[in-house]
Structures are given as C-alpha cells and as structure tokens.
C-alpha cells in the first residue's frame, strides 16, 4: 500500500469528526478488523475478574489488566473475554509487529514443514538446522543496521543486553592483555569470582534508562524504584540523560545546554571510573528512553556520545529492544541520528520476536582470540538454546510483510497523523497534554501528574482504547506497524472525548 | 507401556550382542524410528562443513557440531544434513523431553486453535489469554513438587534463577524490615545502585555449580573458567560441593566425612557473610551438578543443607533446570532426597520447555506486601513476556504423554539398564570408565583425562552415538524420556566397540 493511497484518508478535516463511515473498507491491511472499538462492560469485566481470582491462587496476578480472547483479537484490535473490543495502541508492551492474528503469520503455522520447527527446538550453538544461515540472512541480516555483519540470537531483551555487556567485557580485557596469553591465575581466580580472572569492569548507563531486569542489566536500569528495590546492584557509572523542554523549537538553546551538561557527566564518569581502575568497557543507551518516560535526545547528543565513548576505548551499545523493528518509521531508531560510525552493538527483542544483538566483526573475532591457548574455542557467549528458530521463521515473514505492504511508510504517515493530533490536543487541553514528542508512531505526552495520567489511561480504556503509561507522568502510544492513519483518527477521536471529561485539579 | 512389557527386551544376555534384529518393532513409542544408527560420512560431513563456513560469516559458529535435518530426525535419532543417523543421548543439552518430531506434539501444532497461540505472544503479566489458569493447572501445577502451590513462568533457565534470587532478596529484606514501610531514601537510593535501597545481600552457591550465564547467576556458576573469564562477578559466598569416591559402598565413611566437610563450609560461609552484613538471602544448588561434571551428593547432605539454610533464615533454591522433567525417574530429582520440608524455590527450564520456578506461598505474598504504601502493587517480578503460552501448551501435551505412556517407569528401566551396562564397562575397561554414577537415565562416568573423554565422545559419534562431555573428564548421558532399554542396548553395544579401540596412555 503506497503512501499516496493512504493520504486520501488523512485529510485534516477528518481528525475530529465522528468515526468514519467507511471504516471497514479502509482497514484492508488485515481483513476482518472491526470498524471501531466497542465496550460493553467495565474493564476488567466479570469474566476477567473471575479468571484473575483463579490465577491469583497459583501466582501473583494483580498486575493483570484483563484476560484476552486471542482467537477473536484481530489486527489492531484486542478483544477481551467479556467481549470488549479495544483499539490497541500498547500492543503487549510494544511487542507485536503486525497486530493480532495476521493472516500471513497464520499461514506460516499452517505449513507442515514449519510446524516441525516449533516442536524441535535445537541447541543452536551446537546443532542448528538445515537452512539456518539462510533464514538469518533473509530475516535479521536483511534489516541489519549499516555496517553490522554479525548477529547473535538470544531469547529475550534482558539476555540480549546481558550478553552484549559480556562481549564488551571480553573485548575490553583482550585489548588490555595486548595479545598476552590467559594465565593460570586468571582461569582459577575467575572460578571464585575474584581478580584477575573476574574483572572490575563496568558498563555506563543513564538515569531513566531501562535495559532489563536480570541482575546484571538491572544495574543499568534506572527507570522505576519498584524494579530495583532490595536487589543487590553493581557499582557502575551512571550519567544523566537529557531532559528537554518542549516545544523543542522554543527551547533550542536550553536543550543544547542540557546536551552539553549530560555529555560532560559522561566524560566525568569515564574519568572517575577509569582512574579508579573500574574501567568502563561499554556505554549502554536507548535511542528513546521508553520505560523511563519516552525521553528523547538529539542526534547531536548521540553523535557526540559515540565520539566520547570511542575516545575512551569503550563499546557503544544501543539498546533497540523497544525502539527497534519499525515503529519509528525506520527499522532502527538510531538510524535517525546519522552516527558517524556504526554502533558497536545494537540489541533487539520485542517486535523482532527473537532477542539478540548485532555487533561489529571485531567483537566476534576478539572474543575468540581471547583464548590464546585454544584460539578456536568458543562457548563464551553461549547458552542451551541461543534464541529459537521458530521466532526467526516468524520474523522472516514479518519482514517480508513489512516490505511488501510498505509498512514503514504507513508508520510514517500514521505517526504524522498522531503527532499532529497530539499537538492539537496539547493546544486545546494544555493542562492535560504536555511535552508532545515522537518519532513515527512511537509517541508520548506528559500529563500533569501520575494520578491524572493513570486516569487518562483508565478512561481511554472505557472508550475502547488500550494505551499504557511510562515514566512518572507520561502516556506512551505503541501501536503495531499495521496501524494506519485511519486508526490514528479513531484514537484521537476517543482521546478527545476523554480529555473533555478529565477535570483540571 | 508397562514395565513388564519392556522387561522382555532387557535380558542380560542382550547387553553385548549384535544390534537386535527386532529393533524396529521394539521402538513402538515413536513410529518410524530407524532400527539403529548409521554413519555414512565423517562428522561433520561435507554439507555440514559448508554450512558451518556459511554461518561463520555472520556469527561465531565453530561450536557447531553439525547441521541437523529436523524433518528427518525422529524419536531418539538425530539425523544430520549429510544423512548420518545418530542415537542421541545428549538431546540438545538435555532439553528434549520426547525426542524429535513426536507425533502428539505435531498434532498440537496442527490444531488451528493452537496455531493462534504461537503467533499472538502476550505480555502474560498484563493480558493473559482465556484458559491460561487452567493450562497452568493441568501442566505445571499437575507435576509441582509437593507443597508448591505457586508457579511463575519465565523464558529460560538463566532468567528463572535470576528471578528466584530476586524474589529471595525481596523476601529477606521484607523480613528484615519487620513491617516497617519502605522509606523515601530506599526508593531513591536504589535508583543509583546504592544502599539502603540496593541491598548488600548475597546468594550462596557451590564450587562446580552451574546456574546460568547472565551476570547475576553467573556469579553463582563455578563449573568452567571459560564461562566466567573477564566478566565482573559479585562477591558472594561459595562453598564446596561433595566430591565422592566411587563405588559409594566402598567409601561410605570417606563420603560421609566429605558431606560433613562441605556442610561445615556452608555454616562458615553463612557466619562470615552474615557477620559482615552481606546477608545470605538464599542458597542455590543443583540436585546433581550437571555441567560441572555430574557430581552427586547424598540425600543426607541435602537434608542437612536445608536445615542449616533454614536455621540461617535463608531460602533454599533448588535448580532443577537440567535434572527436572523426568530424566531421574521422578519429575524432580530432589524428590529422591526426601527433604523434611519443601524447598523454598524449585527452578526449571529445558525439558519443561518453559522456564520458571515453583515457590512456596509466602514468597508471592511477601513480595507484594513489601510495598507497604501500595500493598497490591506488583511489577517486582515482571518482564515483557513472562514466559510463553505456546511453551506451556506443548508442555501440557508432554506431561499427558509422560503419564499415558508411563515414561517415568521407562526411564527407571532404561536407567537400570544403562547403569548396569556402565558398571560392567567400568570393570572391563577400568582405565577408561571410572566413577560410574546416575539416577534414572541421568548417568555419567569419568574418563582418565579431558583428552580421553573428548576422544570417546568423538569415536562414539563415528559409531553413531551423540553424547556430550561435562566437567573436566566426565561423559554425560542425557537421553529423552522415550529412550527405552532397547536403546540402552544399542548405546552400550556401540560404546564397547569404542572402548576396545581406545588406547591406554
């Protein structure tokens, strides 16, 4: 579907009108989508409540929003067990590339040859299946960030980051060794968690960042106390991430100063930790801090961060777990930044269906060479499964559909529609909609307080919109890649209904 | 299939005869299994070599043993892309419960309703699907260790352990607080990785243990230097795991003394760390140290360990990632130990297809109550996916088949056959087969050196047996649950051919 075809439905006048009459025929990316949301019961409804109570007997289930009917959910619409139909702009915490029950993905499952891929899960580092290199090539490598020729698959976002950190540590130590062989003391000491085999190396992260919840990456996560409270943490450097004033064009100077302040902190932390012998092997950063509140930073900030990181001999690890896979209108959000050189690592998961990371060739090479006595020994970045072929099989189809249906163009068009609409709302309801920001459909705004934000999310649900919060006061919009400008209209229409009813404190 | 029926094929005389003529009709647990292994080319063969070279261009692939034809692999037989057919007693590092292409699992994939489960991966903590509590009940809860009423699903073994540790930390801190509310200082300090919000708590682990490779659990892994070298590690307590002399009946006194020595170390480490304020919140241990060399310990050791752990107010975390799921003849290996009370946590993955952990009710309850100001707040043990319903769907069928086909009885019979055969080999070839040990089909022996062990693994492959090493000098046997006494015959037959040709150094 070309952009021009989409544009016929995205005239300004349509923005706040009633739901379009021709809704059904417009959403032809996925046949069978309803014409709009419909809410029949309070949410969670009686059936959901019953199931939550049931689940609560075997695990803590009070986080459950509602039970979902995944047979009836379709495209951009999530259907709950009480029959409520919601336009989903949260999409399982931004992890559904093509929405629900995409027909092309169903076809993948119906192919008998493919079915075997789902029941014969290999240990990919030992016994990969026939066709695995080709499958990696047509899927992950076909959308690799420029300059990235290497990919390692993992199961989820946390372990993708954990393993990128580990590869950075090995690479850094190898540089430090300068070709000297591993000593017996290194081998024996690491078994007892002490130097010299266990290194005092660190990863620098940013306030507000989120990189996962296993104990290593949790030390680089700083978005909410609830994620970290009571858990031991590593003493690793933490710098400030820019916090901009909006609208950007009005605060250009202040925001540039903010960049400089944060970059100066990065330099200081490098110096402080390197001087103390706690060498900074890597810097991890999200292109947009998502969980932490959709905090954006300028291309110039990222360009300069790359320069400082390189100058200090560390690896730049760009965490695209939430931003990757197309929602910003490019496969990788950091492509918007025009970095002078490729990042050292780009990690992914969520919309990519498989976890993993891209890396520059030197990281594969140096990890291996680190074992001087057995240069071909591997097993350093390794685990039982190393990801899963069935995820890559599905991803392969997702990427084919993205290309075939020009979904990145659709994201750009829908994103423009969303952003224009949100900007308009921020003018009409400035007390509730502040600091509108976004790239593609990866959009957010701030409310006046956590309570107001939660109220908006709750009232949107009553109007048939599933959204989600992030940070302290932000609401994030994370639709699937099949979210069209027409869907943005529906969202904005319902959103305004909510805003009209929210009281100013 | 009842044991009596199996026993007709497991007479002693069959042990070292030629491959049984009636091979095909015996292996009727999975139709279509070949009558035995057949090797046509060196392994890896020419096609595998080509594919390894291809894969090496996009990732480090030198760990690959061969490329596998997962369409042709069936039951206990793995078929490589060069047409070699191997009896698989390694089963993807012990992660295949029912071997390859089990017909009942294929049927799960052929059901259109089930197919949707594979393409609509939910965020299980927010939007679980209809029927999820029932599916957990019929699968995971139906085989829960005695006393365990709570289960939390995860994606893999590492994150199962990571999250069990985190739950133990929260629980321990909550006990320390004694009902006092969370302070603002705790909330703000944890965001910067410092006390009091970030705790100095520790997890005690054992030399030779393996609990995964993400940075937190890697600090409790002590099986091979290659896993740990260059990676920062937490200063956590490490005690010795018993190393027994075999045969056990000859060294009963020495081995009891070994238990006492190791348990004394546990007590010492508790005292040392608790005194230093680095409170030990949990003790993690495998029922059999698998990756570390199949090190077994006595039921008495585990019983006493539980007593000491409880006395010190810590949680006992039993890591059944490799031992769980039936290979020891019970669902959970630690059931062989007759612990006085349930373990606090039992973690799993691999043969269970989904990762996760069972825990006692107090851990769910106390995690929640820890947030005094919002007693119902969750999100503490949480991530985007929290495991995956499609894995539980497959596990549900696996458990049904285990029960229907009496696979635990088969494991017991096949295990006896294997152990008898290995003991016999250790008498005939004492220079190559030492310290035979096992529970169910979870068997191993030591060779005289790492080189000899590697040579045996390689030569077994030439004879059509896929096995694997562990520890420094051990060879582990990890067949699927559909491995019958008849398959043990084939293994032992080929094994003896290999032993005859191995030279004594």
3-class SS letters over A208-245: CCCCCCCHHHHCCCCCCHHHHCCCCCCCCCEECCCCCC
Average pLDDT over residues B373-396: 84
Quick one: CA torsion of B179, B183, B188, B193, rounded to 10 degrees?
Answer: -40
DSSP 3-state assignment of A454? helix
DSSP labels, A260-294? HHHHHHHHHHHHHHHHTT--EEEEEE-SEETTTT-
CB A287 within 8 A of CB A334: yes
Side-chain half-sphere CA neighbours of A137 within 13 A = 10
Q: What residues of A are in contact with residue B119 (Cβ under 8 Å)?
A: 101-102, 105-106, 108-109, 394
Nearest residue in chain A measured CA to CA from B144: A58
Assign B31 a pLDDT band (cuts: 50, 70, 90).
confident
DSSP B126: T
Nearest residue in chain B measured CA to CA from A199: B232
Distance from CA of B5 to the nearest CA of A (A): 29
Beta bridge partners of B150: B359
Contact A55/B173, CB-based, under 8 Å?
no
Nearest residue in chain A measured CA to CA from B141: A58
- Pairing relationship of beta strands B442-446 and B434-439 according to DSSP bridges: antiparallel
Write down the pLDDT at residue A8.
Answer: 31
Q: Is it the case that residue B14 has pLDDT exceeding 60? A: no
Is A279 an active-site residue? no
Write down the pLDDT at residue B181.
Answer: 86
Closest residue to B190, CB basis, from A126, A159, A225: A225
Write down the pLDDT at residue B257.
Answer: 98
Suggest the residue from A70, A78, A223, A383 to mutate for an interface test with chain B (most B CBs closer than 10 A): A70
* pLDDT tens sequence across B122-169: 999 999 999 999 999 999 999 999 999 999 999 999 999 999 999 999
Q: Is it the case that residue B6 has pLDDT exceeding 70? A: no
Burial class (CB in 10 A: 0-12, 13-18, 19+), A249: exposed
Residues recorded for chain B: 505
Q: Is it the case that residue B487 has pLDDT exceeding 50? A: yes
Q: Is it the case that residue B112 has pLDDT exceeding 80? A: yes
Distance from C-alpha of B426 to C-alpha of B475, rounded to nearest angstrom: 13
Q: Which two tokens stand for residue A195?
A: 């130097």
- Pairing relationship of beta strands A202-206 and A280-285 according to DSSP bridges: parallel
* Cα A109 off chain centre by: 25
Distance from CA of A360 to the nearest CA of B (A): 10
CB A270 within 8 A of CB A280: yes
Contact A379/B226, CB-based, under 8 Å?
yes
Assign B252 a pLDDT band (cuts: 50, 70, 90).
very high
Q: Consecutive sets of 10 residues in chain A, 505 residues long: mean pLDDT of each?
A: 33 37 53 95 98 94 95 98 98 98 97 95 97 97 96 97 96 90 94 98 98 98 95 98 96 98 98 98 98 98 98 98 98 98 98 97 64 55 96 98 97 98 98 98 97 97 97 97 97 98 82
Burial A136-153 (b: 16+ CB within 10 A, else e): bbbbbbebbbeebebbbb
Write down the pLDDT at residue B505.
Answer: 62
* pLDDT tens sequence across B157-184: 999 999 999 999 999 999 999 888 889 9
Report the 10 Å Cβ neighbour count for B414.
28
Q: What residues of A are in contact with residue B30 (Cβ under 8 Å)?
A: none
- Which of A195, A204, A172, A176 is closest to A273 using CA atoms? A204
Q: Which two tokens stand for residue A238?
A: 């933490």
- Pairing relationship of beta strands B355-359 and B465-466 according to DSSP bridges: unpaired
Is A495 an active-site residue? no
Q: Which positions of B are catalytic?
A: 210, 319, 350, 384
DSSP A13: G
> Do you find a cis peptide bond into B265, omega within 30 degrees of 0?
no
Beta bridge partners of B434: B446
Contact A109/B109, CB-based, under 8 Å?
yes
Average pLDDT over residues B395-412: 97
Contact A120/B73, CB-based, under 8 Å?
yes
Write down the pLDDT at residue A361.
Answer: 86
Percent residues over pLDDT 90 in chain B = 87
Burial class (CB in 10 A: 0-12, 13-18, 19+), A228: buried
Distance from C-alpha of B120 to C-alpha of B218, rounded to nearest angstrom: 32
Distance from C-alpha of B380 to C-alpha of B337, rounded to nearest angstrom: 32
Question: Among the options A350, A391, A417, A461, which is catalytic?
Answer: A350
Average pLDDT over residues B415-430: 98
Distance from C-alpha of B364 to C-alpha of B356, rounded to nearest angstrom: 14
Backbone φ/ψ region at B499: left (φ over 0), alpha (ψ -120 to 50), beta: alpha
Contact B214/A214, CB-based, under 8 Å?
yes
* pLDDT tens sequence across B332-376: 999 999 999 999 999 999 999 999 999 998 887 655 544 444 434
ipTM: 0.94
Report the 10 Å Cβ neighbour count for B197.
24
- Pairing relationship of beta strands B85-88 and A238-239 according to DSSP bridges: unpaired
Write down the pLDDT at residue B366.
Answer: 53
- Which of B383, B347, B157, B316 is closest to A218 using CA atoms? B383
Is A350 an active-site residue? yes
Q: Which two tokens stand for residue B184?
A: 């603002």
Beta bridge partners of A468: A476
DSSP B333: G
Element (H, E) at A443: strand A442-446
Assign B8 a pLDDT band (cuts: 50, 70, 90).
very low
Report the 10 Å Cβ neighbour count for A307.
15
Whether pTM > 0.90 for this model: the answer is yes
> Do you find a cis peptide bond into A196, omega within 30 degrees of 0?
yes
Q: What residues of A are in contact with residue B170 (Cβ under 8 Å)?
A: 229-231
Backbone φ/ψ region at B157: left (φ over 0), alpha (ψ -120 to 50), beta: alpha
Task: Assign 3-state DSSP to chain B and report helix, strand, coil percentages, each to 5.
Answer: 45, 15, 45
Burial B491-503 (b: 16+ CB within 10 A, else e): bbbbbbebbeebe
Closest residue to B228, CB basis, from A122, A191, A353: A191
Write down the pLDDT at residue B400.
Answer: 98
């Amino acid at each position: 579907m070309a952009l021009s075809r989409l544009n016929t439905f995205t005239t300004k006048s349509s923005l706040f009108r009633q739901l379009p009459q021709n809704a059904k025929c417009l959403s032809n990316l996925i046949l069978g989508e309803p014409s709009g949301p419909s809410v029949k019961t309070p949410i969670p409804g009686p059936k959901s409540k019953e199931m939550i109570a049931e689940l609560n007997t075997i695990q803590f289930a009070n986080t459950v929003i509602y039970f979902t009917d995944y047979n009836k959910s379709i495209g951009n619409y999530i259907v709950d067990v009480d029959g409520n139909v919601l336009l989903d702009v949260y999409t399982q915490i931004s992890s559904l590339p093509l929405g629900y029950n995409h027909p092309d993905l169903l076809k993948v499952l119906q192919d008998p040859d493919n079915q075997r891929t789902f029941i014969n899960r290999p240990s990919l580092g030992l016994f990969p299946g026939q066709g695995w290199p080709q499958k990696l090539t047509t899927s992950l490598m076909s959308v690799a960030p420029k300059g990235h020729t290497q990919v390692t698959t993992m199961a989820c976002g946390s372990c993708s980051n954990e393993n990128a950190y580990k590869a950075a540590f090995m690479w850094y130590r190898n540089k430090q060794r300068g070709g000297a062989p591993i000593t017996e003391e290194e081998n024996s000491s690491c078994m007892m968690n002490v130097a010299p085999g266990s290194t005092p190396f660190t990863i620098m992260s940013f306030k507000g960042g989120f990189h996962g919840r296993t104990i290593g990456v949790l030390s680089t996560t700083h978005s909410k106390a609830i994620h970290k409270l009571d858990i031991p943490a590593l003493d690793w450097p933490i710098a400030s991430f820019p916090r901009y004033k909006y609208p950007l064009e009005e605060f250009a100077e202040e925001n540039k100063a903010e960049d400089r302040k944060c970059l100066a902190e990065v330099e200081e932390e490098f110096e402080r930790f390197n001087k103390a012998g706690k060498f900074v092997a890597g810097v991890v950063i999200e292109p947009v801090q998502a969980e932490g509140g959709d905090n954006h930073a300028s291309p110039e900030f990222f360009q300069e961060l790359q320069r400082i990181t390189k100058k200090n001999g560390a690896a730049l690890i760009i965490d695209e777990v939430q931003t990757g896979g197309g929602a910003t209108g490019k496969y990788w959000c950091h492509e918007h930044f025009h970095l002078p050189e490729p990042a050292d690592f780009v990690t992914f998961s969520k919309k990519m269906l498989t976890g993993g990371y891209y890396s520059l060739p030197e990281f594969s090479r140096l990890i291996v060479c680190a074992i001087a006595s057995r240069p071909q020994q591997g097993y350093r970045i390794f685990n039982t499964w190393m990801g899963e072929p069935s995820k890559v099989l599905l991803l392969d189809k997702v990427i084919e559909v993205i290309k075939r249906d020009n979904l990145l163009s659709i994201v750009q068009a829908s994103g423009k529609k969303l952003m224009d609409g949100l900007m308009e709302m921020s003018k009409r309801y400035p007390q509730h909609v502040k600091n509108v920001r976004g790239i593609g459909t990866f959009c957010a705004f701030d409310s006046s307080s956590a309570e107001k934000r939660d109220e908006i999310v709750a009232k949107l649900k009553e109007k048939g919109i599933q959204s989600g919060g992030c940070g302290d006061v932000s609401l994030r919009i994370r639709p699937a890649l099949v979210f069209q400008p027409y869907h943005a209209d529906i969202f904005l229409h319902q959103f305004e209904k909510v805003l009209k009813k929210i009281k100013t404190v």
